[in-house]
Structure formats: structure tokens, C-alpha cells
């Protein structure tokens, strides 16, 4: 795909350099000034996305259970928007595949014998390691790892320091 017409000054077609930006919702929870500096960032409607109708039934049961488990947690964290559906579905499907690969790797062991008698890493274990990495990346998108939510604090509006309130406007 040619993005040449969509590039900003100093940006190459390879993508942006450096670490990913911290989501604004997480910056807001931290009380960071950077959240307010992002004036032109799209602000999707916060709320609960809906599980896709074409991914229902027994083949997706594990993913749907993970969806029902994780959505209330993300809502409580204040980091979920309706626009996050595809990323959240990807996370839940990755969880399902991770669970399946875990069962298969446990059943077959870490290594297996080839037709020629060579001992090799079990393909299910290799898949498990790849899925684990993908699952962790998807989890970080929502602040679901200790490192990705480090520094996120939630304060009640009633807990505002009176001395600070004199100098800083509170919502």
C-alpha cells in the first residue's frame, strides 16, 4: 500500500519511530499534562462494544467468556470505547488460541520426534510462544499488564487538595 501522499513532514513510509504513545485515557487517569496537550486527537465514544454476531457459537465460546470477563474490567478502568471492538475481539480470539495451544503443548510435551528420528520443538509449543507474545501486545493496548498501567491512579473529585484548588481549576 502506497502511503506517500499521507506522510507528514519527517515521516517515512516505514512508520513512526520510537515507542508507542500512551493512550490519552491512561494519561488522563495519571493526571498527566500530556493528555490535555492532545487537542486534535480523535475521541471515540466511551462505552461497551458489542461482540460480533458472526463470531457466536461453540467455536468461539472461550473467546466470548474472555470478552464477558474483561469488558467490565476495562469499563471500570475507564479505558474502553466502542471503537475498540476490533482490537478487543483480536485480544479475545488470541486468548482462545492461546488456551488451545496451551492444551496441545501440554498434551504433546515440549519436543516431538520427526519421521527421521530427530528431536524437535513441538509445533504446538512454538505456536504457544508466538500467541503469548501477541496476547501480551494486545493486553498492553488496554493497560492490562502491570507495566502498561504503571502510574495510573484514580482520584475522587472530592479528594482535591484545597491548596491546589486555589491555583488549579478542577472539573
Summarize pLDDT for 56-108 with one digit per residue, the tens.
Answer: 999 999 999 999 999 999 888 887 889 999 999 999 999 999 999 999 888 88
Q: Higher confidence at residue 109 or residue 71?
A: 71
Residue closest to 89 by CA, chosen among 67, 73, 70: 67
Lowest mean pLDDT among 2-11, 36-45, 144-153: 2-11
Under the banding of pLDDT at 50, 70 and 90, the label for residue 44 is confident
> What number is the average pLDDT over the span 24-39?
80
The reply to whether the predicted model has a pTM over 0.95 is: no
Alpha helices in the chain (DSSP H): 24-30, 33-37, 61-77, 85-108, 123-141, 162-167
Q: CA torsion, points 79, 82, 88, 92, in degrees to nearest 10? A: 110
**What integer pLDDT is reported at residue 1 of this predicted model?**
42
Amino acid at each position: 500500500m502506497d502511503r506517500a501522499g499521507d506522510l507528514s513532514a519527517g515521516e517515512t513510509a516505514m512508520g513512526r519511530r520510537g515507542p508507542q504513545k500512551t493512550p490519552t485515557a491512561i494519561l488522563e487517569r495519571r493526571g498527566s499534562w500530556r493528555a490535555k496537550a492532545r487537542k486534535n486527537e480523535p475521541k471515540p465514544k466511551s462505552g461497551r462494544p458489542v461482540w460480533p454476531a458472526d463470531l457466536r457459537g461453540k467455536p468461539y465460546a472461550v473467546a466470548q467468556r474472555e470478552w464477558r470477563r474483561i469488558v467490565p474490567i476495562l469499563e471500570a478502568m475507564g479505558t474502553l470505547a466502542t471503537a475498540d471492538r476490533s482490537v478487543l475481539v483480536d485480544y479475545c480470539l488470541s486468548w482462545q488460541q492461546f488456551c488451545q495451544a496451551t492444551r496441545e503443548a501440554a498434551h504433546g510435551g515440549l519436543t516431538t520426534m520427526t519421521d527421521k528420528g530427530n528431536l524437535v520443538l513441538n509445533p504446538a509449543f512454538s505456536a504457544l510462544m508466538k500467541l503469548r507474545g501477541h496476547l501480551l501486545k494486545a493486553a498492553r493496548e488496554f493497560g492490562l499488564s502491570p507495566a502498561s498501567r504503571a502510574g495510573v491512579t484514580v482520584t475522587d473529585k472530592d479528594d482535591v487538595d484545597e491548596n491546589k484548588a486555589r491555583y488549579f481549576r478542577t472539573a
